[in-house]
Structure 1
Amino acid sequence: MATMKVDASFSVLTGNNIDALLFKAGSVIFRKGDEARDLFVIKSGQVRIQIGNRTVTELGPDSIFGEMALIDNEPRSATATAVTDVELVPVSEKQFLFLVSQTPYFALKVMRVLAKRLRATNKTFG
């Protein structure tokens, strides 16, 4: 089980005035195969990403997950579960495109997350 902390903080998206979704520990946030509309930023708590019974990673505050949804419009490729009580800030495709257009560095931060996860997967399965 790999734990990843990405150098790019997404805490700017989880400010005090931003509505968050609450999930209790043990709750499924989404399942592999579900329709995907948003990426999520973890405001607080821990989230486990699994494929089948295999844990891919556990993520903590200021991390993102579900980002592939906004890039390829495919169903979810993994299941996300709240390890602890979590607060999540959803980011829609419209918001994502706005952030990318206003702050091109934001796109690079998301690409860095994807690249780190791909490299970790390659080490695991390579």
Structure 2
Amino acid sequence: MLTSVDRLLFVRGVPIFKELRDDFLVRLASIMDELSFPAKHTIFTEGQEGRSLYIVVSGRVRVHLGDRDLAQLDQGATFGEMSLFDAEPRSASVTTLESCECLMLTQQQLYDAIDETPGIAVNVIRLLSRRIRELNQKLNAHEARLAEAALRGGIS
């Protein structure tokens, strides 16, 4: 369990919250729920309804589609944020690789926070844009490798 000071210091270091004022961070950090998960625990599954963002405080999680890993996230990483905005089912599953402590922010808590401090929305948009760019780069690199392999193998 984090003390309120530890929680504030931790949340201050999370990328989507870095540019926010301390008075706002104090409030935001105080309303987040603190959750503990054992190793190999599925936090949520692809297709499940979701209305919350998670922040890894300790431990590691894997983001995956079935058996295919998309990412491994550790301390300070966020996941689940897409469902906060589009109300669509989860696009992937998240399972703990080891025991984990997470902070959880619900959709309503975030909306209330955005009403108070609109800058948080810009930070979340930056995070989502960064993730889309990273996925595009991975996809482009994968397609380039496939094209190169096809040329070497004489496949057209």
Deviations 1:83-119 (A, max 9, x none): 1211112111110111212222211221121111111
* Structure 2 Cα separation of the partners of residues 114 and 65 of structure 1: 10
* Structure 2 Cα separation of the partners of residues 41 and 7 of structure 1: 8
Shift of 1:53: 2.0
**What's 1:3 paired with?**
none
Sort the Cα spacing of 1:86 and 1:115 in 2 relative to 1 into closer, same or farther, 3 A.
same
Deviations 1:53-108 (A, max 9, x none): 22111112222110111111011100101112111121111101112122222112
1:97 maps to 2:111: yes
**What's 1:88 paired with?**
102
Alignment of 1:1-126 (within 5 A): 8=15, 10=17, 12=25, 19-126=33-140
TM-score by length of 2: 0.68
Shift of 1:23: 0.6
* Structure 1 Cα separation of the partners of residues 32 and 108 of structure 2: 16
Sort the Cα spacing of 1:28 and 1:7 in 2 relative to 1 into closer, same or farther, 3 A.
closer
Q: Is the 8 A contact 1:10 1:41 kept in 2?
A: no
Tell me the secondary structure at the aligned position of residue 20 of structure 1: strand
Q: Is the 8 A contact 2:16 2:120 kept in 1?
A: no
Relative to total residues, which structure has the larger helix share, 1 or 2?
Answer: 2
Relative to total residues, which structure has the larger strand share, 1 or 2?
Answer: 1
CA RMSD in angstroms comes to: 2.3
Q: How many residues align?
A: 120
Deviations 1:18-76 (A, max 9, x none): 54111111111011011112111222221111123221111122221101111110111
Q: Could you list the runs of 4 or more consecutive aligned residues of structure 1 that deviate by over 6 angstroms after TM superposition? A: none
Sort the Cα spacing of 1:100 and 1:47 in 2 relative to 1 into closer, same or farther, 3 A.
same
| Structure 1 unmatched runs, 5+ | 1-5
Q: Is the 8 A contact 2:53 2:106 kept in 1?
A: yes
More relative contact order, 1 or 2 (CA 8 Å, 6+ apart): 1
Q: Is the 8 A contact 1:9 1:63 kept in 2?
A: no
TM-score by length of 1: 0.83
